[in-house]
Amino acid sequence: MEVYGVLVFALCCMLFFNGVEVAVGLKRRESPSKVSQPYRTAYHFQPSKNWMNDPNGPMYYKGIYHFFYQYNPYGALWGNISWAHAISYDLINWVHLDVALVPNEPYDINGCFSGSTTILSNGAPAILYTGSDTKKGQVQNLAFPKNISDPLLIEWVKSSHNPILSVPDGIDTSSYRDPSTAWMGADGEWRVVIGSEMDHHGLAILYKSKDFTHWVKSSSPLHFSNKTMMWECPDFYPVSVKEKNGLDTSVEGENIRHVLKASFNSHDYYILGDYDPKTDHYNVDIDFMDSKGSLRYDYGRFYASKSFYDAEKKRRILWSWINEGDSESDDTKKGWSGLQSIPRSIWLNEKGDQLMQWPVKELENLHTRKVHLENKQLKGGSLIEISGITASQADVEVTFSLSNLNEAEVLSSEVVDPQILCTQKNASVSGRFGPFGLMVFASEDLIEHTAVFFRIFKSSNDFRVLMCADQSRSSLRPKVDKSIYGAFLALDPRLAKISLRTLIDHSIVESFGGEGLACITARVYPSLAINDQAHIYAFNNGSQILSISSLSAWSMKKAQIVPMAKRRKPIK
C-alpha cells in the first residue's frame, strides 16, 4: 500500500474510532446470507462471513491493537485455514485488514495453523505458526512484517528458512503445533513451547534460540502430564503476586509466578507454578487433572485461548474462540461459524491460587440506556423483570445479599463435580439458598430461558458456592446444544454478598461470578426469545428470602466492526 493510502486509512480509523462517521474508504458488507440472522452478535468480534476459530498472535504495536485468527476465506465450515487480521484502537471496535497468511507454500499448503506473535528485541514483531505441509505433517514456520514502519502491518513475508522446526523423534507428525509467544531468558536466548503428546501424554516441548530463526530442542519439555492427551495452544506467562498489573512475557524476578495453559478435552485448563529461568524447570502447585477442582479459564464453551501483554495499559489480555452449538448445516445456512469472547483482563487473586478475569474496561464505552435497582427483596419462588433495556444485547451486574446461612442445604460428599451437581440441581429444582440469579434470553411465558445462578451449600462446618449456567430450556429447537455448566467459586458466602456479571449478545452469554473468580460461557439459540422478544429476569427459586443489594443493567451499542473497502492480494 502506498504511504498516502496508509495515512488516509489511519486517519479514517482514528476518526471512526472516535465516533466520527467516515464514508470514504469504509463500507459495510451485505449480510452473508439472505436467511434471518437472529444469532449474529452485536459487540463480540466475528468476521462478516465464513468460518473462524482460534485467536492467534494478538499484540499491541505502534499504538494499535492487532488481532489474528484462524479463518476460512471461502466458506462457513473448517478448511483453507489462513490467518485473518484486524486492527483496533480500543479492543472493541475493529477494522478488518487483508488476510495476513495464506496456505501457498509446500510447508503450509494444507493450512496456516495456530501460533503466536512475539515482539523482538529490536521492537519488531514476528509470527511463529504451524504449517500443514504437502503430506499434512505439522511443521513450525516464521513470518515478518514486510514493512515494520507500517503500524497497520498489512503485508507479511514468510521466512526463507521455513520450515524452521520439524517434528522431533517420538512425536507423531499430526501432534506438533501451536507455538506459544516466546520469552527471553537472562542468558539472552529466546524460549518457546510447542503443544504435543508422546505416548498419549500431553506435553509442552521447549526450544531455545539466539536469533529467533535457528532453534534447539531442550533435553526436557517445559512440562508434561500423564493424565492428559494432546495439548493444543499452550500459553506460558508470568503473573504478579503483588499487583493486578500484567507482566511482559519475558519478565523475571521476585513475587512472580508462572501460568501454563493447555487446551484439551474441549476446555482450557491452567496450572500455577514457579519457573526457574536458569534451569527452565517449572515446579507446579497442583498438576493438570490432579484434582477434580482443576482450574479452567472458563467452565463453559471456551477453547484455544491466547493471551498477550498490553504494554500500553500494563495488563494481560485473554481471548478465546467460542464455537457454535448448532449444526454444520445451520452454519452453512447462516454463512458463518464461530466468534471470539470479549477480551478479558486477567490477574492473580489475593490468595495466589487462581486467576481472576474481567471484561476489558473499554467495553463500558458501549453502555447506553441504563436501569438500576437497590435493596430489592426477592422472596422464595419470585422473579423481577429487568425492563427498560434491550434484553438481547445487554450487560447486567447484580449483587445478592444473604443471611441465615446456617439454613443452607448440606452438600453430599459423594457429589464433587460441579457440572454434575448443576445438572442434578438445575434451575427448576428448588433448594434453600438457591437457585438464584438471572434468567436471560427468556420468552415472555418463560417457555424458553437460560438461567445463570448460584446455590449455597453447607459442608463440614464450611460453605460452598455453586455457579451454574442452565441451557436445558434455552430453545424449542431440537438440535442445538442445551448443556448445563457448573463451577465452584472460591468464595466465602459468609461475607454475605455474591456478585454476578453477565454479557448478553444475541447468541452468547458470558458470565463472571464472584467478581471474576469463575466464568461460564454459553451459546444459546432461542426460537422465541430473540431480538425484541427477549426478556431478562432476576429470580430466586430457593425457599429462603434474599435481596438484590444492587443491580445495574445497560443496553449495549453495536460495536463497529468493518472491512477495508479495497481488498489487496494476500502475500506470496
pLDDT of residue 291: 84
Pairing of strands 190-198, 183-184: antiparallel
Give the contacts of 238 (CB within 8 A, at least 6 positions apart): 247, 248, 249, 251, 252, 256, 257, 258, 259, 275
* Paired strand residues for 456: 465
Euclidean distance between CA atoms 506 and 272, whole angstroms: 35
289-310 pLDDT, tens per residue? Answer: 998 779 999 999 999 999 999 9
C-alpha cell read off for 439: 434468567
Cβ-Cβ contacts under 8 Å for 28 (sequence gap 6 or more):
562, 563
Distance CA 384, CA 362 (A): 29
Amino acid 486: pLDDT: 97
Grid cell for residue 292: 477434580
pLDDT, position 316: 98
Active site residues: 54
**Average pLDDT of the residues in 175-197:** 97
Q: Mean pLDDT across the stretch 434-448?
A: 97
Q: What pLDDT, in 10s, does the model give residues 14-64? A: 434 444 333 333 333 334 545 689 999 999 999 999 999 999 999 999 999
pLDDT in tens, 513-525: 999 999 999 999 9
pTM of the model: 0.93
Residue pair 9/155 in contact by the 8 Å Cβ criterion: no
Three cell numbers written together for 299: 467452565
Which residues, listed in sequence order, are joined to residue 437 by a DSSP beta bridge? 453, 539
Instruction: Say how far apart CA 125 and CA 148 lie, in whole Å.
Output: 8
AA identity, residue 12: C
Distance from C-alpha of 296 to C-alpha of 262, rounded to nearest angstrom: 10
Per-residue model confidence as pLDDT tens digits over 273-286: 999 999 999 999 99
pLDDT at residue 540, as a whole number: 97
Domains and CATH numbers, the chain: 37-359 (2.115.10.20), 370-556 (2.60.120.560)
Mean pLDDT of 157-171: 97
Average pLDDT over residues 185-213: 97
pLDDT category at 462 given cuts 50, 70, 90 is confident
**Higher-confidence position of 484 and 25:** 484
Asked if 57 and 87 touch (Cβ cutoff 8 Å), the reply is no
Q: Which H or E run includes 567?
A: none
pLDDT of residue 407: 85
pLDDT above 90 (res 101): yes
Q: What was the pLDDT predicted at 350?
A: 93
SS3 487: strand
- Residue 216 has what pLDDT? 98
The backbone torsions φ and ψ at residue 362, rounded to the nearest 5 degrees and listed phi first, read -60, -25
Give first-to-last CA distance, the chain, whole Å: 15
Share of the chain above pLDDT 70, in %: 92
> What's the confidence (pLDDT) of residue 565?
52
pLDDT of residue 67: 98
Give the pLDDT confidence score for residue 564 in this predicted structure.
Answer: 67
Looking at residue 416, its pLDDT comes to 79
pLDDT-wise least confident of 155-164, 516-525, 555-564: 555-564
* pLDDT computed for residue 224 by the predictor: 96
pLDDT value of residue 118: 98
Three-state DSSP state, 275: strand
**Mean pLDDT across the chain:** 92
Cβ proximity of 454 and 465 under 8 Å: yes
pLDDT tier at 411 (50, 70, 90 boundaries)? Answer: confident
Mean per-residue pLDDT, 490-498: 83
Percent helix, strand, coil in the chain (nearest 5)?
A: 10, 45, 50
Whole-angstrom Cα distance, residue 186 to residue 119? Answer: 17
Check residue 92 and give its pLDDT: 98
Minimum mean pLDDT range among 29-43, 352-366, 462-476, 546-560: 29-43
Which pLDDT belongs to residue 502? 98
